[in-house]
Amino acid sequence: MALLQQLHKSTFNTHMDGAAMKALLCHTADDISDWEGQDITGPDVKTGYGAVNFEKAAQLIEKDKKETLTIYGFEIDQGETETLYFQTTAVGELLTATLSWYDPPAAFYATNTLVNDLDLRITQENTTYLPWALPTTSQQAVAVLGDNTRDNLEKVVVSEPLGGVYKITISHKGSLQRFNEDGVLENTTQRGVLVVSGPGIFSKSEQELDQLTAVSNFLVAPIPAKETFTVSALNNNIPFKDLTIIGLDGKVVLRKSRNNFSLKSTTFAISVLPTGTYVLGIETETGTNFRQILIAN
C-alpha cells in the first residue's frame, strides 16, 4: 500500500485518504471463488472482496492520470443525488463501480453501526444493477445482490454491458448525520470516493458526454487529451479510415491513415503536439466528421 501511495503522490502530488485506498483495493481485488471446496463467487465473510492485486490498482492510478475521473472524489448534501454517466465502447467487458466513504462513529447502543447509508446503483433504461450485500451476519453467509445497509463500501458489477450509456447514481437513506464535539447529532454532508472501470468514458454530466461523442457515431476520449487519445466507433457499421489533426491555422499537423475503411477503434499518439486547441477529422465512407479537441501535453 505504501508503494501505491508513493505512486499516487508522484502522479498527483497528494496521498489517497483511507476511503480512496479502500475503494481502489476492493475494486481491483481478484475474487476468490473457491474456498475449501465451496463456490463463493462474490464477496463473503471469509475472503472479503478477494486477493489484493496491486498491479491492477497501480494501473487504475495511471489511468486516472489520463482520464481524471477513474477515481472520483465527491461530497453529497442532504437529499442530494450524485449522478454520473458512463458511455461503453465495447460489449461484454465488465463495467465496475466501487463506492467507499468514512462513516461517522455510531452511538454505543446502536443495533446497526452504519450511520450514513449511501446507495450506489447503475441503471440503463429499465434495468437497475445492485451492489453485493450480505443478507445476514452469519459466518456462513454468501453475498447476494441487493440493498447493502451494513457496509460503508458498495460494489456494483455489470458483467455483460450491452453498449450505450449507463447512469451511475449515489444517493442516501434518511439524514446524513454526525456527532459534534458536544456529543449531539447534527446534520452534515458526506464525502466519498467512487472508482469506475470498464471499456468507455466516465463523465459528470450528459452534456459533457454529448460533447465527447459529438462526432457522429464516434467516441473520442479522453478530452482533454494527454500523449494519446482513442477514437472508437459506437456503431460497428460505421468504420473509419483516416484521422487528421488540424491546427487552428488550417494546417494539418498529424495524420493517421489506412488503405481501407476497417478501423473501429484506434489510439492516436499526440505527444509531439504542444498544448492547444485543434480540429480532429474522422474520415468515413460517407464523408469526414470534424470536431474541436483540446490537447494538454
CATH code, domain carrying 231: 2.60.40.3080
Report the alpha-carbon distance of residue 134 to residue 127 in Å, rounded: 22
Q: What is the pTM of this model?
A: 0.73
Report the alpha-carbon distance of residue 40 to residue 53 in Å, rounded: 19
CATH number for the domain harbouring residue 38: 2.60.120.380
Alpha helix (H) residue ranges in 168-270: 206-212
**Cβ proximity of 95 and 157 under 8 Å:** yes
Report the alpha-carbon distance of residue 146 to residue 42 in Å, rounded: 13
Domain boundary among the residues 173, 205, 237 is at 205
For residues 173 and 289, membership in a common domain is answered with no
Report the alpha-carbon distance of residue 195 to residue 168 in Å, rounded: 11
How many domains, the chain? 2
For residues 154 and 90, membership in a common domain is answered with yes
By residue range, what is the domain housing residue 20?
2-205
Q: Print pLDDT tens along the chain (297 aa).
A: 999 999 999 988 999 999 999 999 999 999 988 777 777 778 888 888 999 999 999 999 988 776 656 899 999 999 999 999 887 766 667 899 999 999 998 888 888 889 999 999 999 988 999 999 987 766 667 788 999 999 999 999 998 777 678 899 999 999 999 888 887 888 899 999 999 998 777 888 776 666 555 544 677 887 788 898 888 877 666 778 888 999 888 889 999 887 766 777 888 899 999 998 888 888 888 778 777 788 888
Maximum distance among all alpha carbons in the chain?
73
Burial 276-293 (b: 16+ CB within 10 A, else e): eebbbbbbbeeeebebeb
For residues 197 and 94, membership in a common domain is answered with yes
